[in-house]
Chains A and B, each alone.
Chain A
């Protein structure tokens, strides 16, 4: 039972990461109609720059703002130089241009930081474990990630539902032309949204650092899972990103944790391990297939 709760929390923590990524991606699509394959690259940039600063200074907390700023600045520059030219283009051009960005960013990171995986130092304050239930010691750092995700979710909720920018964002998600017609400085809004998405990706990337290794290609792994989240949640819906992100995070983690052991009852240990890992990696995609059968537009389709 304790094991299950522990894995549930792990799933929640992974789900939070997926949410941070998916929220940005879905907002960017919702407002600007752009599919950004390079979203994972921003995640990677945040992780690398933040980790570098943290390692140089020996402080996790100095790495954090560095990660956020690096990802956001990269995002804003990418928006200004590349993505801005893609708004009026078709999806094929968007896919290709942002795919090119992935190739470029991956190689740049190799050139600057090398191929060796690195680890982000754990913040000392959160390096221990907390006894959250009798007998269940859970790493404080993972709790910090979960808490961060919840704070971001609430922050986004307030931003979208209580501010002027949020009003535009909401209007933009349902009716893009209307926002254009409102005479708002659409460029600024786009840059802001893109920067925000990049910042969230950078946050996710950096926060992952102490748990998983920071390495080239880390962005693509999470990007594909993020796509599944966005598709299941409904394109353009932040609420969908939250629900689907947490849900998939939990499903994925539970499968990985328990499927190989379950399979031990049916097959050889070595096979059970490999098949269990493979099938649990397929889990979220199968889930997506099922959702598509019943809700082709996802759980929370944006109206319009």
Chain B
């Protein structure tokens, strides 16, 4: 019931946003709003493994970038030479988004399979390192712009809608986000979700109950990578641009900060966190170039100032139920 109310309020706010933006004559706020939704998807996907599963990945920006590049590269080949000589390019969102999710899922499968062989601090360092490797990979892809990135000439087409219209683009993004969060809700509250939460709390106990931890964590990691890939594909559509900077490790840090700001392991937290982060960035960056200093200070206070860390605060507030 509480959840239904939160969902309704959030949805109402996001439906109202473009009209407010229109009313105050700042239609660029619509793009900001749509990007908030994309980042909310990314942060919530990361939260699936970080908050629910207890795996601190510091390399999830990699999947964001992969998703964006899938859109970019497919668009680049649309109507021209096929990719690798046999894969035709496309500009259809109904194709690009699923492909972005599949490709990011495959990349997550490889990275997850390797990094989940370890745990704890090694896991953090390894995910970070693999993301950096992908960063360099895309830097070296000169055919697609190298470190300058890849400009996408047109936003993906969908059902003949006028995607140049910011309002249309915004609502397309919103519908996708709503669908995404419905699916995520099901996953979190599924049998699999229960196992995942158990693994976060006590892997040893779960093994003693006959649960092969590695397999379940890997599935979660792949699902999470797919979600972040979807977010990256949306971002590429909103910015009409894909670049290696999207998978810079600072971006991975940003995603974690969004989760923290909103509340680790809570369902709607990442949405609020992503919105708060983007607004903070938008206004602070306009105010001073030294805004990371302020962000850093806020983060430090949030982490150190809450007894037992954010996680502790959250589990006290929610009485331990997720």
Verify whether A and B have any Cβ pair under 8 Å.
yes
Mask, A284-304, CB within 8 Å of B = 1, is 011011001100111000000
The answer to the question of B168 belonging to the interface, with a C-beta cut-off of 8 Å to chain A, is no
Interface positions of A from 51 to 69, Cβ below 8 Å from B: none
User: Known: A91-B56, A282-B133. Contact between A99 and B140, CB under 8 A?
Assistant: no
Contacts of A97 in B (CB 8 A): 299-300, 303-304
Q: Give the docked Cα–Cα distance between A102 and B304 (Å).
A: 15
Closest to B254 in A: A99
Determine chain B's interface SS by DSSP, over half rule: helix
The listed residue (B125, B136, B140, B142) touching A231 by CB distance below 8 A is: B125
Stretch at the interface among B11-19, B75-83, B226-234, B290-298: B290-298
A85 B122 Cβ-Cβ under 8 A: no
B296 A296 Cβ-Cβ under 8 A: no
Contacts of B253 in A (CB 8 A): 99
Contacts of A258 in B (CB 8 A): none
Q: Give the docked Cα–Cα distance between A227 and B140 (Å).
A: 22
User: Known: A107-B293, A235-B121, A292-B126. Contact between A278 and B311, CB under 8 A?
Assistant: no
B125 A103 Cβ-Cβ under 8 A: no
Contacts of B257 in A (CB 8 A): 96, 99
Q: State the interface size on chain A (CB cutoff 8 A).
A: 49
User: Known: A91-B120, A110-B290. Contact between A100 and B146, CB under 8 A?
Assistant: no
How far apart are B239's CB and chain A's nearest CB, in angstroms? 23
The answer to the question of B132 belonging to the interface, with a C-beta cut-off of 8 Å to chain A, is yes
A224 B309 Cβ-Cβ under 8 A: no
How far apart are A164's CB and chain B's nearest CB, in angstroms? 27
Q: State the interface size on chain B (CB cutoff 8 A).
A: 46
The listed residue (A103, A224, A279) touching B295 by CB distance below 8 A is: A103
Closest to B115 in A: A292
The answer to the question of A95 belonging to the interface, with a C-beta cut-off of 8 Å to chain B, is yes
Stretch at the interface among A133-141, A193-201, A238-246, A267-275: A267-275
B260 A224 Cβ-Cβ under 8 A: no
B121 A35 Cβ-Cβ under 8 A: yes
User: Known: A104-B300, A106-B292, A231-B129. Contact between A96 and B124, CB under 8 A?
Assistant: no
The listed residue (B50, B114, B295) touching A92 by CB distance below 8 A is: B50
Q: Give the docked Cα–Cα distance between A202 and B68 (Å).
A: 38
A281 B139 Cβ-Cβ under 8 A: yes
A95 B118 Cβ-Cβ under 8 A: no
Q: Give the docked Cα–Cα distance between A93 and B121 (Å).
A: 12
Closest to A220 in B: B249
The listed residue (B128, B130, B309) touching A93 by CB distance below 8 A is: B309
The listed residue (B125, B129, B292, B303) touching A35 by CB distance below 8 A is: B125
The answer to the question of A108 belonging to the interface, with a C-beta cut-off of 8 Å to chain B, is yes
B124 A91 Cβ-Cβ under 8 A: yes
A92 B56 Cβ-Cβ under 8 A: yes
Q: Give the docked Cα–Cα distance between A220 and B296 (Å).
A: 16
Q: Give the docked Cα–Cα distance between A91 and B256 (Å).
A: 13
Q: Give the docked Cα–Cα distance between A107 and B297 (Å).
A: 11
A296 B118 Cβ-Cβ under 8 A: yes
The answer to the question of B137 belonging to the interface, with a C-beta cut-off of 8 Å to chain A, is yes
Contacts of B121 in A (CB 8 A): 29, 33, 35, 91, 235
How far apart are A109's CB and chain B's nearest CB, in angstroms? 11
The listed residue (B58, B296, B309, B310) touching A103 by CB distance below 8 A is: B296
Closest to A281 in B: B136
B299 A103 Cβ-Cβ under 8 A: yes
B300 A101 Cβ-Cβ under 8 A: yes
**A-B contact list, 13 entries, CB within 8 Å:** A96-B260, A99-B257, A100-B295, A101-B300, A103-B293, A103-B296, A104-B300, A107-B292, A107-B293, A282-B137, A285-B129, A285-B136, A288-B126
Task: Please report A residues at the B interface, Cβ cutoff 8 Å.
Answer: 29, 33, 35, 82, 85, 89-93, 95-97, 99-104, 106-108, 110-111, 220, 224, 227-228, 230-231, 235, 270-271, 274-275, 277-279, 281-282, 285-286, 288-289, 292-293, 296-298
